Amino acid sequence: MSLLHWAIFSPFLAALFVPLLFKHFRSIHTGWFVLIVPTLLFTYFFQSIPKTSNGEILSESLAWIPSLKVNIDVYLDGLSLLFALLITGIGSLVILYSIFYLDKTKEKLHSFYVYLLIFMGAMLGLVLSDNLIVLYMFWEFTSFSSFLLIGYWHHRERSRYGAQKSMLITVLGGLSMLGGAVLLAFMGETFSVRELIGKSGELTAHPVFNATILLILLGAFTKSAQFPFHIWLPDAMEAPTPVSAYLHSATMVKAGIYLVARLSPVFAESGLWLWLIAGFGILTLFWGSFSAVKQTDLKAILAYSTISQLGMIMSLLGLGAAALHYENMNENIYMAATVAAVFHLINHATFKGSLFMAAGIIDHETGTRDIRKLGGLMNFMPITFTITLIGALSMAGVPPFNGFLSKEMFFAAMILVTEMDLFNLDTWGVLLPVIAWTGSIFTFIYSLIIAFKPFTGVFRPEMLEKKPHEAPIGMLIPPVILASLVIIFGLFPNLLASSIIEPVVAAIQPGLAKNEFHVHISPWHGFEPELFMTIGVIIFGVLLYLTLDKWNKIYGILPDRFSLNRFYDALIKGVEKVSLSITKLFMTGYIRTYLVYIFLFFILSLGFTLFWKDAFAFDSENTAAIGIYELILATIIAVGAIAILFAKSRLTSIIILGAVGYMVSIFFVLFRAPDLALTQLVIETISVALFLLCFYHLPKLPSRKEERMTFKLNNALISIGVGVIVALIALSSHSNKLFDSISGYYVENAYKEAGGKNIVNVILVDFRGLDTMFEITVLGIAALGIFAMIKLRLTKEDDDG
């Protein structure tokens, strides 16, 4: 176990102790103990920055299932480090925030922190794993812990609904990702991500390459809430706000982005990859920001805005893949898209985290998150207002905050698309900047809504459950730190450039980064077209925000009925209904129906095999001659078997059964089987006696009249089918005798070895005595069973007692 492994496992280990701490130190908020873990981890990862920025890669291996090549191989490069810093850094802030957010007397803190620590460990494992299977394992761990956290207040129906929805969607994607991982390992013959990247050239031509892309991307899109799988994220807002801030803005929803970035070197040669990611990303960006404007719940706005921002990062990653196709250029301008994606990833984590925390403060101090009830809080909560304003303006892309810079880079990248000449991007590519620009206007509008609706306007205390006041200082510290980062990164973006962003870009585009390349983010880059786009966004955004009441009726045009949520609900209900009706259709509860299925399967499978394989053979050469006695006996048996069907009374059918049995024993006589004949005679007699005993002495029930069997065509066809199939198989198997019997040995050795002259009996008790022993057991069990059935008369009351 290396230090890196300990880093992954320490949250899991800490989770073990949380319930103990909660139980024994009730006076201290459990969060204080938990806070130590991410803080230490953050320090550890922070120290690694110089190493990775020099291009060093820490890698460690721990044997888990070496025979299947599944080992806990971890490595730390620029990309992993960025995520690890986000996870631990924002994790520390969120835990600090939760200490003040969750009441230590009212809430079940032990479960909260256990889930949170499991999530943190899983997330760290996910971003540090080199082995695809281990990565998948941690991936599912994040799904499960997220499920538990969303359903934290499990007495609320909405929480359970949201948890179930997110579980179903993310696990669907997770399983698809597992399929992609297995296909990848099948193509590259290794589970190691780094080895796969080395082999990316040979993978492209593989026939399952495109299927792998689709499976992997389904996983990434569901996790990162891309259109149309974004619907779980707004419902996940039922979770406590620290969870929303941590999981659903900064970390878990970025797992899909991490996956795309991580596997980019493997897949980026493909046009499908580029188109899918860029297309779905831009669609998500627009749809998320468009839908956010109509929300009235603060957290719902933030959820849709997260969706939209994730779409933006995703589309940038997709376009970044284009850089690979222009290797000859001296200065690869398309790499700028990747730089923008990474930069915005960092920015989004900072401002979205602070916005969620601010929304949580408003909720905590006023009792509602509904923007229709909130207003005029500026005087009561000046600090929260400042935080929200910084976060929202950064999100909107206003200078001097960091969102402005990444938005500019985003526009720049989108304009570059139109100059591309591959994968038809020169024709359709022009759509991308247009959609991006429109989406950004909506982003601007909802950012203004978040920043101003709760804080300006009329203060309506009668709508609020509590008297609003500023939050405790502990609750304010984390968002203040994040908001300060927003400003610091906005003013000094190059703090990040060589330390963090360069190694990340090197990890996403390893082949290109070997060339001389330096990231330089300049806050001012002259009058480029993207600057005018931003000015346009601001002008249109302000205008539309001011006239919001006049045009927001367009949201009524698309009825609720056609929303994706309705579709999801109908799908879930439909699946339940259809499966229930299918089950009810064939599970009738009648034994006869099931027998029909069994017999039909028997007929069809055997009949099909017989004719498909051309297995039927008929060969009468090797048969014995038909004697007159045999003919008579056979006729009697056949007639008897058919006569039973027409017998009216029970007695008649019993007697006919007996007659058939005696005929069979005479057959045994004719075919030279004396022991069989004896046994058959005796047993048939006893059986018939038993039949008569059981049924002749039964009281006549009024409901039961003696009657013939009613003729049913279906049953008749099925039984004729069974008879024909058995006869055909008997004929063809007899005609295909391949080997002689082994009975020669028994005949020769019955006396020599076993000292008996009756060969059948010698076989029964000597050569194959084991069969006989268990046949005796069967009889014994049957006897005991019968005895128990007759003697043991438990009634229902006895059973219950």
Beta carbons of 369 and 362 less than 8 angstroms apart? yes
Of residues 679, 696, 736, 753, which one binds other proteins by CB under 8 A? 679
Residue 155 beta carbon to other proteins: minimum distance, rounded to whole angstroms: 25
Which DSSP letter does residue 75 get?
E
Residue 713 beta carbon to other proteins: minimum distance, rounded to whole angstroms: 11
Residue 209 beta carbon to other proteins: minimum distance, rounded to whole angstroms: 49
> Cα dist. 601→73, 587, 610, 730 in Å?
49, 16, 14, 19
Q: How many residues bind to other proteins according to rule CB under 8 A?
A: 92
Strand residues in 178-314 grouped as ranges (E): none
> Cα dist. 429→173, 228, 243, 275, 736 in Å?
28, 21, 38, 10, 70
Q: Is residue 690 within the footprint of other proteins (CB under 8 A)?
A: yes
- The number of angstroms, rounded, from the C-alpha of 465 to the middle of its chain's C-alpha atoms is 39
Task: Choose between 590 and 612: whose C-beta lies nearer to other proteins.
Answer: 590
Q: Give DSSP secondary structure letters for 394-417.
A: HHHT-TTSHHHHHHHHHHHHHHHH
Q: Is residue 111 within the footprint of other proteins (CB under 8 A)?
A: no
Q: Is residue 581 within the footprint of other proteins (CB under 8 A)?
A: no
Both structure tokens of 403: 């969102």
Q: Is residue 16 within the footprint of other proteins (CB under 8 A)?
A: no
Q: Quick count: other Cβ atoms within 10 Å of Cβ 568?
A: 18
Residue 360 beta carbon to other proteins: minimum distance, rounded to whole angstroms: 42
Identify whether 479 is preceded by a cis peptide bond (ω within 30 of 0): no
Interaction residues for other proteins, span 695-754 (CB under 8 A): 695, 698, 701, 703-704, 709, 712, 715-716, 718-720, 722-724, 726-727, 730-731, 733-734, 741-743, 746-747, 750-751
> Cα dist. 378→358, 455, 467, 730 in Å?
13, 5, 14, 92
Of residues 189, 327, 421, 675, which one binds other proteins by CB under 8 A? 675
Residue 582 beta carbon to other proteins: minimum distance, rounded to whole angstroms: 16
Residue 795 beta carbon to other proteins: minimum distance, rounded to whole angstroms: 10
Q: Is residue 773 within the footprint of other proteins (CB under 8 A)?
A: no
Residue 778 beta carbon to other proteins: minimum distance, rounded to whole angstroms: 5
Task: Choose between 327 and 753: whose C-beta lies nearer to other proteins.
Answer: 753
Q: Is residue 769 within the footprint of other proteins (CB under 8 A)?
A: no
Q: Is residue 781 within the footprint of other proteins (CB under 8 A)?
A: yes
Of residues 135, 259, 654, 666, which one binds other proteins by CB under 8 A? 654
- Candidates 236, 168, 233, 152; CA nearest to 573 is 168
Residue 570 beta carbon to other proteins: minimum distance, rounded to whole angstroms: 23
Helix (H, G, I), strand (E, B), or coil: what is residue 379?
coil
Interaction residues for other proteins, span 609-648 (CB under 8 A): 620, 623-627, 630-631, 634, 637-638, 641-642, 644-645
The span from the CA of 669 to the CA of 677, in Å, is: 6
Task: Choose between 231 and 603: whose C-beta lies nearer to other proteins.
Answer: 603
Beta carbons of 4 and 58 less than 8 angstroms apart? yes
The span from the CA of 801 to the CA of 791, in Å, is: 19
Residue 673 beta carbon to other proteins: minimum distance, rounded to whole angstroms: 5
Nearest-10 crossing angle of helices 109-128, 78-101: 170
Q: Is residue 1 within the footprint of other proteins (CB under 8 A)?
A: no
Both structure tokens of 339: 């730089």
Contact segment (CB under 8 A) with other proteins among 153-161, 318-326, 443-451, 778-786 equals 778-786
Q: Could you report how far apart the first and last alpha carbons of the chain are, in Å?
A: 56
> Cα dist. 420→275, 324, 414, 424 in Å?
13, 12, 10, 9
Q: Is residue 672 within the footprint of other proteins (CB under 8 A)?
A: yes
- Residues in contact with other proteins, shown as a per-residue x/- string from 298 to 337 under the rule CB under 8 A: ----------------------------------------
The span from the CA of 326 to the CA of 337, in Å, is: 14
Interaction residues for other proteins, span 393-432 (CB under 8 A): none
- Residues in contact with other proteins, shown as a per-residue x/- string from 583 to 612 under the rule CB under 8 A: ------xxxx--xx--x-------------
Residue 752 beta carbon to other proteins: minimum distance, rounded to whole angstroms: 10
Kindly compute the dihedral angle of the four CA atoms of residues 188, 219, 437, 551, in this order, to the nearest 10 degrees: 170
Contact segment (CB under 8 A) with other proteins among 192-200, 373-381, 609-617, 682-690 equals 682-690
Residue 117 beta carbon to other proteins: minimum distance, rounded to whole angstroms: 40
